[in-house]
Structure 1
Amino acid sequence: MLRLTEVALLCAAVEPDRRPKVQDIVRMIEEIAAGTVDGPEPAGQH
């Protein structure tokens, strides 16, 4: 959930040129859904 919130914050950047492209957003969300993003494992997933 934290990673998805981080993506949302990128999309809400004040300056439009600092926002990611749609294809990049899709890729990030797909990586989150697939669990291929580096980071701590969610509780209970060990």
Structure 2
Amino acid sequence: MVADPAKSHTLNAGYGKGFSVIEVLDAVDKVTNMTIERWLEGRR
């Protein structure tokens, strides 16, 4: 239960599998039927 539902919260569902940024963007593209502009750069 969230004590203050109007407040922003960060939760970890803990499914045991992480997702890459590309995987998340691909999923958003699919759900919204749009394409988020992206460009690949070297690792930090």
TM-score normalised to structure 1 length: 0.37
Q: Which has the higher helix share?
A: 1
TM-score normalised to structure 2 length: 0.38
Between 1 and 2, higher relative CO (CA 8 Å, sep ≥ 6) is seen in: 1
